[in-house]
A and B are shown apart, each in its own frame.
Chain A
Amino acid sequence: MNCGRTRQVIEMDPGEHTVDELAEEIASIDDVETLESILDAERGGDDRKTAKEAIERRIEAVGEDEPTEDGTASADDVDGGEGSEGDANETDDDAGDADETDDDAGDADGGETSDGDTGEADEDDEDDGLSHPTRDKKHVRALQGGDYEDMWVFCETQAGELTDVSKEMLGKARELMDAYAEEYGDEEDVVAVVIGEDCAELAEETIAYGADVAVFHDDPRLSRFVHKPYTEIAAHMARGQGSLESTEWRAYDEPRYALFPATNNGRDLSALVQAELDSGLASDCSDLFIEDVEISNPVKTGEPGVKKVFERVLHMKRPDFSGFEYSTILCLDNPDRDFHPQGASVIPGTFEVPEPDPDREGLVVEHEMELEDWFGVEVLEHDQLDEGVDLTGHEVVVCLGRGIGDDPTLGMELGLELTDAFEDAAFGITRGIVTSSYQFDGHVEAYSKEERQIGETGQEVAPELYIAAGVSGAVQHKVGIDDSGTIVAINTDPDARIRDFSDYFIEGDLFEVLPALTEAVESGELPVEALADGGIDR
């Protein structure tokens, strides 16, 4: 205990200190009488309830400690310990300085934190056989009172192209920073980050989508997302390191804001980079805006009962409670510790893909950095998932409905034959067939599955020619074919709904009409009269 300091503060006027400061000051006073006199001074002065409580707590604590004499259990020791831990990396604060203005808010209730700290210390002594890789993790790079500017957008690439969500974020960032310049009078940049192989051109492209500056790191080993190197590079860039060509465009410690895509890789990268920069992250956001906000939380203001306005705060809206409510997340500095960049990951599709402007000008900066042994994970094999049958993009689509019910297998065969007669045709079915109990023979069964379903809950097609055989024409089917060029329907029922939206309606049995059509397509001659009679006898 620093007795000298104890004497020093006897003279102190509690009214000159915030409650937090006061709590810190008196934490080193062991003398009940001294404390009582401070309490009296407070009563006679500002008479703050919180201040009096803080002093009373201290008096109580000292009273309890007195008989033990050794002092190990007293809150002040532990507080002191925590203080020195925090001091190590901070530039200008010494817990003893009476004029200190931004103490750790957590110290206000030393009792609670001390328990936790003591507990940890105990664990340290025991060897539990685990490596505890994060034991020494301290906020080593956390800044306080740093300079922050710009909105950084961490772009994702796939197969050598910017993904849509990257463009969406750039467009949104442009919009936000334009509004920011108008509101606050400061022109700050949208900075695009591109990491990958052969990505210089993509960096160039981000300018067209709204970036002012594009920073890229190009390395063949980065062709796929790998956690460690991507994280190290991104954090390195954000701290302003490694841009050899030109650093003039940035004169700040870290980005003010950071956006990431909430994709599989983006979610990983966002959490790692934001942790590396010792800030927070609002994940999976669905809206963003920048605004001032008034806060009364003492952890943020440093003093209970005081309101403080935080300027230029990125408001990050995200679905909460599994998407049933929305929360707005704010990432605010503490009095003694900054939380920047204010970071969010953005759900793909949330914002519009902007129209690229090829004439936009911007600065493209190559980032340089020695990549260390960060490639422990290697992609040995990769496979593209089978995406099923694509019925779109064909000139002709032949679709069968429940009209095949009398002989489902034969119906399918006839439909497939007609499909094959065309040069570029696809074969589809209605939901009525997919969900039926029809027993198909093996060779056509594969065509009766959901992957070929046309309609609202299947695929939507828009061929030049759509041939619907034995399809009744429910609304759910209609929406799947509405954009087709010419619609030809074959149905035994002249009142079938499909007639209302067909260009040609053939009243007849598909088992007769389909072979006739196949023959006509193959021969190039259409025997219209025979069709009108309801088919051709074979």
Chain B
Amino acid sequence: MSANGYEEFEAVVVGCGPGGAAAAARLADHGVETLVLERGVEAGSKNVSGGLIYGEKSAPYTAEELFPGFREEAAERPVTETYIHNVAGDRVKSYDLTDIHEHDTAWCEAVLRRKMDSWLEKRVHERTSETGGGVLTDVRVNGLLRENGEIVGVTCDELDPIRAELIVAADGVNSELARDAGLMDWEEPEEWFQGVKAVVDVEPGEIEDRFALGEDEGLAHLFSGDLFEGVRGGGFLYTNESSLSIGTVFHLDSLVERRAEPHELLDALLTHPLLAQWLDADYDEREYAAKLVPDSKKVALKEPYADRLVVVGDAAGQMQAQGPIIKGMNHAVTAGALAADAFAVTRGNADPEAAGRRYATMLEESGTMSKLRPRRYELARTVGERDLVTRAVEGVLDSPVGRLALGNRLADRALERAYNSPYLVSMLPDTRTGYVTVPTIVGEQHGRPVTWENEVEPPELIDRIGDLTYDTDVGNPHIELLDESFEASGAAVYACPVSAEGFGGGCYRAETVRTNGGEETLVSLDTQPCVECGTCAVVADTDWEHPRGGKGVEYRQG
């Protein structure tokens, strides 16, 4: 306790995901008294990811180095093979992507976040306890504590304000701290992806049979093409110990533009004939989940700090999604550890931003920033993403000449090489061309028909919501709908992963209301089914906060 009555720690880390865990563990290694605040009932209960974490050869830190035993105890299966499937109707052309997967990869593991993050939480608690701190769960940090305009700590729903010399915002993609500090916003749908995922139960031992894998082997399958109603994005399937992570990731602006229902796009993948080889009629979905993914190319903070605050992981937009490569957790680990190191070397410096500046420099020097915001992309984007250029390129591709070019044998080999080139992949502009048109043509021209009969019947949204665990904060909704007109907030009705047009049991519902003889469509909100993904914060007019500590959705798989 300091003289002014605040709790005081040398460092406060907000969020116990991989970024926060790495920061806290390194801080403890440096002997720093570190308090970790986690809003879930346990670390991982609020987390979702597609499911691959990488250990990069070029990275200064990996999860395994920071937390020995991580791969063995916290992860599911290593990824030993990677494929991409270009789909056009029932024709599919597959390429082996193992080369690019292995580029700079020391290891790669499929993970489920509840298991992984709760394991990390225990390690972090052990280590931070030794230097006078520890992990507290069920605490939601709701903002920054300022004195004379300067950030000096955090405020919480459950505890008195806490002062600290270093504040690490590792509070995820919807970081309330990064927004409080003015570093992030929720304005532009094109800066975000939205992912939805089903964790599918598989009998122990079945994975090996179905995928022809050994006990310590695993697979990553990626899907692109015309599976998804022209929405830009793709799908994935990863093997866990005794389950599968199957999901889809789309550009949020494209979802909005196409008025697509995320859960239906996931169902389109689940029920495609291609997946019949791995799924049968006994389809048993353990959990439906969703999250926003920042597009680091556009939003990764170049200066992820303000006063004593440093921002790491998704909170700082550090999520690398380029073509088939999706890397986030590894960068969060690196960033968290570097932020801790930066604090250790600048400790005692009178300038409150010394640690933050040092952290930014270390991110740059370690090469992490150039992975997150490749300069090649910034150059390519200026021409590549203009609608006109897209249309022109699409026109050529759709012409007999273009189809011939993509369809010949040489092109086939060139394409496989191109997919496997990190250089080319990082240049792929985010247009329909890369995500939909090319894969579709590839599927049409090179693909073989897949005629398996898919017997999967995915659960309906009402059951997916019903199967989730919630601790609803009755009478205290965490999202407020500021504008209930359909123009302002109607996009949430379809873009929200737990809402749908014509479905009354979701968060957002469109309702036709008769008033004074006239009729208008209004949007209403019930936050009970909310999975806290943040989609509506971007596409609707809301006042968006996380629920209080321990409240809201609780993921069992994640």
Contact = CB atoms under 8 A, between A and B. Distances in A.
Contact of A497 (B462, B472, B511): B462
Given A438-B511, A456-B472, A472 B524 contact: no
Nearest to A409: B514
B96 interface: no
Interface string B486-529: 00000000000000000011000101111100000011111010
B40 to A, nearest CB: 13
A324 B526 contact: no
Contacts of A431: 526, 528
Contacts of B514: 439
Interface string B379-422: 00000000000000000000000000000000000000000000
Contacts of A323: 158
Given A321-B159, A438-B511, A439-B514, A472 B462 contact: yes
Interface stretch (B21-29, B132-140, B300-308, B342-350): B132-140
Given A324-B136, A437-B511, A432 B523 contact: no
A297 interface: no
Interface in A279-326: 321-325
Nearest to B138: A324
B474 interface: yes
Nearest to B510: A437
Interface in A407-455: 431-432, 434-439, 450
Given A324-B139, A435-B525, A436-B524, A474 B513 contact: no
Interface in A311-345: 321-325
A435 B506 CA distance: 11
A475 B138 contact: no
A43 to B, nearest CB: 38
Contacts of A457: 472, 474, 528
Contacts of B474: 457
Contacts of B484: 437
For chain A, which range describes its interface: under 10, 10 to 19, 20 to 34, or 35 or more residues? Answer: 20 to 34
A321 B136 contact: yes
B84 to A, nearest CB: 37
B260 to A, nearest CB: 23
B466 interface: yes
B138 A438 contact: no
Given A321-B136, A324-B138, A456-B472, A439 B466 contact: no
Interface in B38-52: none
A99 to B, nearest CB: 42
B475 interface: yes
B513 A438 contact: yes
A31 B515 CA distance: 98
A454 to B, nearest CB: 13
B528 A405 contact: no
Q: Is the interface of B mostly helix, strand, loop or mixed?
A: mixed
B465 interface: yes
A401 interface: yes
A174 interface: no
A324 B513 contact: no
A325 to B, nearest CB: 8
B511 A432 contact: no
A439 B139 CA distance: 38
A172 interface: no
Contact of A435 (B136, B462, B465, B524): B524
A412 B158 CA distance: 40
A12 to B, nearest CB: 43
Contacts of A476: 466, 470, 528
A432 B524 CA distance: 9
Contacts of A217: none
Nearest to A478: B466
Interface in A394-412: 401-402, 405
A286 to B, nearest CB: 16
A436 B526 CA distance: 8
A474 B462 contact: yes
Contact of B526 (A401, A405, A432, A456): A432
A436 B138 CA distance: 30
B384 to A, nearest CB: 42
Interface in B522-555: 522-526, 528
Given A324-B139, A435-B524, A472-B504, A405 B511 contact: yes
Contact of A474 (B136, B139, B505): B505
A187 B136 CA distance: 43
Interface string A470-498: 00101110000000000000000000010
B513 A439 contact: yes
A138 B463 CA distance: 67
A110 to B, nearest CB: 27
A437 B514 CA distance: 11
B472 A437 contact: no
Nearest to A471: B504
A438 B511 CA distance: 7
A346 B511 CA distance: 49
Nearest to A453: B474
B504 A432 contact: yes
Nearest to B465: A474
Interface string A106-118: 0000000000000
A437 B524 CA distance: 5
Contacts of B505: 432, 472, 474
Contacts of B526: 431-432, 434-435
B79 to A, nearest CB: 35
A423 to B, nearest CB: 32
A436 B507 CA distance: 10
Given A322-B158, A472-B462, A474-B466, A437 B522 contact: yes
Contacts of A401: 504
Contacts of B528: 431, 435, 457, 476
A436 B462 CA distance: 17
A354 B60 CA distance: 61
A438 B504 CA distance: 13
Contacts of A438: 511, 513
Nearest to B503: A472
Contacts of A436: 509, 511, 524
Contacts of B463: 475, 497
A125 B136 CA distance: 49
B296 to A, nearest CB: 34
B462 A450 contact: no
A307 to B, nearest CB: 25
A476 B530 CA distance: 13
A450 B476 CA distance: 12
A175 B259 CA distance: 64
A431 B515 CA distance: 23
Contacts of A472: 462, 504-505
Nearest to A477: B505
Contact of A322 (B159, B465, B475, B513): B159
A229 to B, nearest CB: 35
Interface in B423-473: 462-463, 465-467, 470, 472
Interface of A: 321-325, 401-402, 405, 431-432, 434-439, 450, 456-457, 472, 474-476, 497
Closest 6 CB pairs of A and B: A475-B466, A435-B526, A437-B524, A402-B504, A437-B522, A324-B136
Given A323-B158, A474-B465, A476-B470, 19 more contacts: A322-B159, A324-B137, A324-B159, A325-B136, A402-B509, A432-B504, A432-B509, A435-B524, A435-B525, A437-B522, A439-B514, A439-B515, A457-B472, A457-B474, A475-B463, A475-B467, A476-B466, A497-B463, A497-B466
Interface of B: 136-139, 158-159, 462-463, 465-467, 470, 472, 474-475, 484, 504-505, 509, 511-515, 522-526, 528
26 contacts: A321-B159, A322-B158, A323-B158, A324-B136, A324-B139, A405-B512, A431-B526, A432-B526, A434-B526, A435-B526, A436-B509, A436-B524, A437-B484, A437-B522, A439-B513, A450-B475, A457-B472, A472-B505, A474-B465, A475-B463, A475-B465, A475-B467, A476-B466, A476-B528, A497-B463, A497-B466
